[in-house]
Structures are given as structure tokens and as C-alpha cells.
Amino acid sequence: MGIASEILSSLTNSTSEGEVANRPIRNALTVLFWPVALPYLVYKFVNMFRRRFGLKLRPLEGKVVVITGASSGIGESLAKLLYEDGCRLILASRRIEELERVKADLVRSRTYGPVYVPAIVQLDLADLKSVQSKTSEILQIYGYVDILINNAGMTHRGDVLGTSIEVDQRLMSVNYFGPLALTKGLAHSMVERRSGRVVFVSSVQGKFALPFRSAYTASKHAVQALADSLRAELTDLGIKVTVVSPGYVKTQLSMNALTASGEQHGQMDASTASGLSPDVCARKIVDAIVNGDNDVVISSLLPRVAIFLRGFWPDFFFWLMANRARKELNLSS
């Protein structure tokens, strides 16, 4: 009781007569102090002990988690966090060499507690015919999936009228139809077990549209609608659905964007370069999964304001977007 006595003494100490007079107050404060302080001190001690001896809290330990787009960016950061948390990872991407690199980096990394060597699956979401066979391949690894994270995606730079329909189709295949096909295949195993979570890594552009991003933002609006419908249909079957809508994240997404003609954009946009770290974004996604969130926006203030304006003051939002389109046209001319 030394700490409590010092604190209480500083509050009640004055003269020897005051000491006697204030003794009942000190006793009452002591009675109130310890029931509050003791649980907090125990909590701090347990956490210190866990950190000191590598016993981390791992709420997702042992879960079978599929991550698409795991070869770089947010997907790679998610793989690192979930590997450290003791998940059984199945990493999927088109680029098998990069998947091998990510897997090797994970296996070499320092972790605490039991970990599992990740499995890798080469997956091209644009090839819808192959997704079904890849779904079977994924299920053969552990027999089921606890969490599916639909993270893979691509973006676009170009005006609506000038963009070839092939580019529109490819964006919809990679960002919408591919994840839809994969979700259909894997969610059935979740329904059988009446347990699971489907995560869609969407974008703030799935909540409002920007000019010269039509194919991308249309595909992300479709993802948002799909997730909302799926959540309602599967809630009573024990399946949870989470939509995560990041703002700009510092990845290679804009570098790999398709232009109106289907060529690679090959430039890092200033907004992307100053965006959120993929590690920070991944941490927030994992937190959303652990917390059981349905819909999460991960962004700075400006996109949140845009979401608000689109819903509550649409005419003003449309005026702002028209001005933005004019400025972008002037810059490009």
C-alpha cells in the first residue's frame, strides 16, 4: 500500500491535527483506490510478462486465412501480420515468384508462439474459368477456410468515352467478378460449418466516384453492393462480411494502373506517394476482423468529407467533381 499511501498523503497531509481529522477520508479513499487500481496493475503486469517472454495475444491463432493479392502491397503486409498471429495462411496471386519471396521472408522472420508455413496458390482473378479449379485447390489444403480476404485489385486512368470496353471488362473481372467467383466457391464451406468471415478490401471510391477513374470506381461500387447483399443473406448462417475502404495507400497500384487504351500507366501519383503505409492499413484491417466490424473506412479527413457530401449534399458534391474534371483536363492539355 506504499504507492496508495503516498498519493493519499499528498492529498490529505497538512498538520498533525489535520492528519488525525483526515484519517477517515484517507481510509475511504484507500478503499476506493485499490478496487480500481488493482485490476489495472494486474492487466499491465500480464501484458509486460507477455511481451517479455513472447506470449502475445493472438485472437486469430490457428485460423485458415486466404489472402488474394498477397505478393505485394497491402496483401503482403496482411500476410506478415497474420503469420505473426499464428494463422494458417494460403497466399494467392498471379505472380508465383513474388509469392515464393513473400513465403520465404515470412518463414525467416522472427515470431513468438506457434506458426505455420504458408501455402501458396497461383491465381489470376481475370481468368474466371480457372477460379473454380483454384477454389478446389485451396480447399484441399486444409479442408476449409475461416477467413477469405479479397484484397487483389487493379485501377484505371482514363475518361469514360475514351476507355476501351476491354479495359472496363478487365477491371470488372479482376475487381468484381473474380472475387465474386472465389467467394461463391469458398463461402459454401463456411456455410457448411456455419462459421467464417469474408473480407472485401474495397476503396473509398466504392462510396463516391471520381472523374477519370470510372472503371475502377464502378467495380468498387459493385463490391460494396455485393458485400451488403451477402452480409444480409448469410448473417443467420453464421457468416460475417466486412468491407474495408482505404483511401490512398502507398503501393504500386497506380504504377500498374491501366490507361484508356489498356497500356500500363507506369507512374506513381502524388496522392498515392503520400498515402498511408500498407503496414498501417493492414493493421487496421486485422483490427476490423478481430473486432467484427461490418464496414470500415481507413482514410484521412478529406475522403470522409466526400462520402458525407455525396450522401447528404449531392448537388454540391457533383459541382466539386465537375470542377475537378476541368482541372485534370487542363493539366493534361
Question: Using 50, 70 and 90 to split pLDDT, how confident is the model at 14?
Answer: very low
The per-residue pLDDT for 270 is: 75
Alpha carbon separation from 238 to 76, 170, 271 (Å, rounded): 28, 33, 39
CB atoms within 10 A of CB 198: 26
In a domain, 182, yes or no: yes
Residues 256 and 195 in one domain: yes
Residues 81 and 151 in one domain: yes
What are 270-323's pLDDT values in tens digits?
777 767 899 999 999 999 999 999 999 999 999 999 999 999 999 999 999 999
Q: Are residue 136 and residue 195 in the same domain, yes or no?
A: yes
Report if residue 321 sits inside a domain: no
Sequence letter at residue 36: V
Let me know if residue 84 belongs to a domain.
yes
* pLDDT of 257: 78
In this predicted structure, the answer to whether residue 12 has a pLDDT above a threshold of 70 is: no
52 — pLDDT class (breaks 50, 70, 90): low
Please check whether residues 24 and 103 belong to one and the same domain: no
Domain limit, last residue, from 31, 53, 75: 53
User: For 192-238, what is each residue's pLDDT tens digit?
Assistant: 999 999 999 999 999 999 999 999 999 999 999 999 999 999 999 99
Number of structural domains (the chain) is 2
**Catalytic residue of the set 40, 83, 112, 216:** 216
Domain membership flag for residue 195: yes
CA dihedral (297, 300, 306, 311) positive or negative: positive
State whether 30 and 84 are in the same domain: no
195 and 107 inside one domain: yes
pLDDT tens for residues 131-145?
A: 989 999 999 999 999
Burial tier of 301 (Cβ tally within 10 Å: 0-12, 13-18, 19+): exposed
- pLDDT band at residue 251 under the 50/70/90 scheme: confident
71 lies in the same domain as 25? no
Percent of the chain with pLDDT over 90: 69
Q: Tell me, yes or no, whether 36 and 102 share the same domain.
A: no
- pLDDT at 4 > cutoff 50: no
Give the range among 48-57, 69-78, 182-191, 257-266 with minimum mean pLDDT. Answer: 48-57
Whether residue 152 is predicted with pLDDT greater than 70 in this model: the reply is: yes
Is 320 part of a structural domain of the chain? no
Quick check: is 329 in a domain?
A: no
pLDDT number for residue 8: 42
Confidence of residue 79 (pLDDT cuts 50, 70, 90): very high
Looking up cell 485501377 gives 155
- Residue 313 forms part of a structural domain: no
pLDDT band, residue 96 (cuts 50/70/90): very high
Which of 91-100, 249-258, 274-283, 313-322 shows the lowest mean pLDDT across its residues? 249-258
Q: Pick 13 or 183 by higher pLDDT.
A: 183
CATH number at residue 236: 3.40.50.720
Note if 176 is an active site residue.
no
Which of 81, 196, 79 is closest to 144 using CA atoms? 196
59 within a domain of the structure (yes/no): no
Rounded to a whole number of angstroms, the CA Rg of the chain reads: 26
Examine the pLDDT at 47 and tell me if it is beyond 80: no
Pair 29, 130 in one domain = no
| Mean of all residue pLDDT scores within the chain | 86
Same domain for 242 and 98: yes
Residue 188 backbone phi and psi in degrees, to 5 = -60, -40
Proportion of the chain above pLDDT 70, given as a percent: 80
Q: Is the pLDDT of residue 7 over 50?
A: no
pTM > 0.95:
no
Give the domain extent around 44: 2-53
- Domain final residue pick, 13, 32, 53: 53
Same domain as 82, residue 39: no
Same domain? For 180 and 43 the reply is no
